[in-house]
């Protein structure tokens, strides 16, 4: 089954929105801190059960899905017609938005993975030798920020897809013999 540009753009948008929503929910569900339980020579941090780590990783998965589908959608041969990459990158606007989409995807992945991995480490390494430990959690705000950058990334992929569509149309218009081109008066 051949995919249309509309279907590809809907996939990018859906994955981007899912990544955003999961990241925001993960940020809102993250506990402020754990409860220290003192022992003879150490402290065990007890954290409330929360879905932050799972939601953070799911947000990253949907970000990756949006990025992969966004990238593939740019070079996919719609209606069996492929366009050379050199034609697409001839457009300065396409090149700029393509690079911004790549950069924001990487930044979003970093902002989502950093607190998710940190939170997972806090949950698994919960025994501390320092009696003054306050049972920390991952830095507040990074998951939410990563979620917003993830949504921005999906939007940049969609803009790049629109610019690629324009370049495709221009390329195929140029390929037609002049006798087949229609002119309107």
Q: Give the pLDDT confidence score for residue 50 in this predicted structure.
A: 85
Is the model's pLDDT at 104 over the cut of 90? yes
Average the pLDDT over 125-137 and give the result: 82
Q: Does the pLDDT of residue 175 top 80, yes or no?
A: no
Give the integer Cα–Cα distance in Å for 144 and 37.
Answer: 30
Tokens (6 digits) for 90: 């001839």
Q: Which of 37, 6, 44 is nearest to 125 (CA)?
A: 44
What pLDDT shows up at residue 184?
56
Query: In the predicted model, what is the mean pLDDT of residues 67-72?
Result: 95
Give the Cα separation of 116 and 113 in Å (integer). 5
State the chain's mean pLDDT as an integer.
88
**For residue 38, what are the β-bridge partners?**
43
**Residue 165 CA neighbour count, 13 Å, CB half:** 14
Distance CA 18, CA 33 (A): 27
Is pLDDT of 107 > 90?
Answer: yes
Q: Which of 8-12, 129-133, 155-159, 181-185 is predicted with the least confidence, judged by mean pLDDT? A: 181-185
- Of 44-53, 65-74, 128-137, the range with the lowest mean pLDDT is 128-137
Whether 72 contacts 98, CB under 8 Å:
no
The predicted pLDDT at position 64 comes to 98
Helix H segments across the chain? Answer: 5-29, 52-75, 85-88, 92-124, 142-175
């Amino acid at each position: 089954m051949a995919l249309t540009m509309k279907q590809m753009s809907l996939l990018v948008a859906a994955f981007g929105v899912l990544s955003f929503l999961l990241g925001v929910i993960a940020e809102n569900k993250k506990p402020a801190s754990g409860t220290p339980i003192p022992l003879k020579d150490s402290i065990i941090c007890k954290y409330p059960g929360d879905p932050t780590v799972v939601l953070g990783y799911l947000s990253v998965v949907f970000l990756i899905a949006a990025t992969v589908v966004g990238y593939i959608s740019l070079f996919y041969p719609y209606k069996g017609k492929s366009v050379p990459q050199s034609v697409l990158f001839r457009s300065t606007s396409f090149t700029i938005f393509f690079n911004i989409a790549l950069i924001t995807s990487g930044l979003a992945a970093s902002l989502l993975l950093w607190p998710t991995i940190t939170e997972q480490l806090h949950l698994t390494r919960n025994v501390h030798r320092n009696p003054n430990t306050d049972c920390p959690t991952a830095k507040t705000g990074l998951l939410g920020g990563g979620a917003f950058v993830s949504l921005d990334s999906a939007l940049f992929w969609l803009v790049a897809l629109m610019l690629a569509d324009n370049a495709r149309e221009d390329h195929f218009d140029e390929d037609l013999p002049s006798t087949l081109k229609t002119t309107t008066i």
